[in-house]
Copies of this chain bind each other. A is one copy, B any other.
Amino acid sequence: MTIQSAIDALKPLLGQRLSTSKSDLDLHGQNESYFDPTPPDAVAYPESTAEVSEIVRTCAEHGCPVIGWGAGTSLEGHALAVAGGVAVDFSRMNRVLAVNPEDMDCIVQPGITRRALAEELRATGLFFSVDPGADATLGGMAATRASGTTAVRYGTMRDNVLGLEVVLADGTVIRTGTRARKSASGYDLTALFLGSEGTLGLITELTLKLRGQPEAISSAVCAFPTIADAVNTVIATIQMGIPMARIEFVDAEVARCFNGHAGTDFPEAPHLMLEFHGSETGVKEDAERFGEVAGELGATGFRWSDKSEDRNRLWRMRHDAYYAIIAAHPGKRAVATDICVPISRLAEAVTETQADIAESGLYGPLLGHVGDGNFHATLVVDPAKPEDLKTAKALAHRMTERALAMGGTATGEHGVGIGKKGYMEAEHGAGWAVMARLKQALDPQGILNPGKIVPDSAAPSKTRAS
């Protein structure tokens, strides 16, 4: 019972679709953040739920770790094979299986990326709302309970997945949820698997809620004298009940990176980027009301875009902000933070964070989904200077402690992975032990993405193959 024996047992099933080439292993040991590369021992490329089930069943027999792999865009090292094992790469399970326009839902395989899905839905008049920065897979987004710029209006993955097909730790296939819009039928297994980061099961199919393309959309960017003015505008907007579809904050440094990366000419000042969805008159009215609030708090330089190509460019730029920041610093890596606080504490959290970063001497621009109280510092570190990483981690630690002290969470949307695991006890208290009991109940051998989410005792380490 070793990882190697599991790999040997999988070969007849998968043939060429089980890879142990160094390049493949290295690719599946990478991450977009500062964690050390941690390759698996093999990479499997299943083409069906039945194959995923067979892979997991075989790995279970051999006590071999199984780690789901989407697009590799995790910022917290979710898919790193910290105990070795087999990475299950869903890139060959990337189809849209059904679109039901009347019910405004669709059924997809986990390997489809959000941009590919948007492309497939373009002609239907419907769209899927959740949009993390990266072009992540829907399976990965579900496994990490991802969100993005539209959560303030349409919610996160928690609110936009009607049901799942999941392969459990023994290979059993279950379906959670139904195609009904709501249900009070027993434990909410859909919600349990969303955000479980591959530690309770592998998601092999998703039923997603779709939204109708609004009749009218209007986007805008405006600049503010200070961060506090921008954040206070967001708070006032929410409290007035102005229905925003997006309201995003970027600081002066991010505006500068946009100018460098996307060729814009924003003033180097804090900005809000926003969007309204609705009827023609509704959007106009919302925009006017927002303009008044923002104007009172010092907003200037409004740029409105009603054309879809302008809007697409704007949001593509926003989504690529992390990459724009990295691109402005060749050879550097980043520590991305991800706190979310009650909205009443947001201005305080942002200004304290900015002061703390300024004092540290590190470069760390701020941006975020401030309508949810969620923001990120992208702390840029030089891999050649170990003290940079130490400083960044200390900053990130103080940010997270601040968020928890304010009644917030250590991760608004990036998930736990290995980056946030150290805060699970502080955030959840005795609830963390409950998570361990759930893990133990559904994965008693601890083969599913070991080392993640639950206390380490609940996920025994395995013997690596080599």
Binding site for B on A (CB under 8 A): 100-105, 144-147, 151, 155-156, 158-159, 168, 172-176, 178-189, 191-192, 194-196, 200, 212, 214-215, 235, 238-241, 243, 278-279, 281-282, 285, 338, 340-344, 372-374, 403, 407-416, 420, 423-424, 427-432, 434-435, 437-438, 440-442, 453
Contacts and interface: CB of A to CB of B under 8 A. Distances in A.
Given A103-B344, A285-B282, A440-B441, A434 B168 contact: yes
A145 B185 CA distance: 9
Contacts of A173: 430
B189 A188 contact: no
A42 to B, nearest CB: 28
- SS class, residues of chain A in contact with chain B: loop
**In the complex, which of the residues A183, A282, A412 has the most CB atoms of chain B within 10 Å of its own CB atom?**
A183
Contacts of A410: 185
Contacts of A278: 243, 282
A343 B103 contact: yes
Contacts of A176: 428, 431
A438 to B, nearest CB: 6
Contact of A180 (B183, B373, B414): B373
Given A178-B407, A180-B340, A282-B282, 11 more contacts: A102-B342, A156-B184, A175-B429, A178-B409, A179-B407, A185-B424, A187-B200, A215-B241, A281-B285, A437-B441, A441-B441
Contact of A188 (B158, B340, B429): B158
**In the complex, which of the residues A147, A431, A440, A453 has the most CB atoms of chain B within 10 Å of its own CB atom?**
A431
A187 B438 contact: yes
Contact of A182 (B372, B407, B435, B453): B372
User: 5 tightest CB-CB pairs across the interface, nearest first?
Assistant: A191-B191, A441-B441, A102-B344, A183-B409, A179-B407
A36 B440 CA distance: 38
- Copies of this chain present: 2
Given A173-B430, A342-B103, A430-B173, A146 B184 contact: yes
Contacts of A442: 434, 437-438
A239 B344 CA distance: 36
A196 B187 contact: yes
A316 B413 CA distance: 40
A155 B408 CA distance: 23
Contacts of A183: 145, 340, 409, 411-412
Contacts of A429: 174-175
Nearest to A152: B181
B192 A192 contact: yes
A285 B278 CA distance: 11
A438 B196 CA distance: 14
Contacts of A434: 168, 174, 189, 442
Contacts of A194: 188
A243 to B, nearest CB: 8
Contacts of A172: 430
6 contacts: A147-B184, A182-B374, A185-B409, A186-B416, A187-B192, A281-B281
Nearest to A423: B185
B435 A186 contact: yes
A404 B46 CA distance: 30
Given A430-B174, A438-B441, A412 B342 contact: no
A102 B344 CA distance: 6
A200 to B, nearest CB: 8
Contacts of A104: 238-239, 343
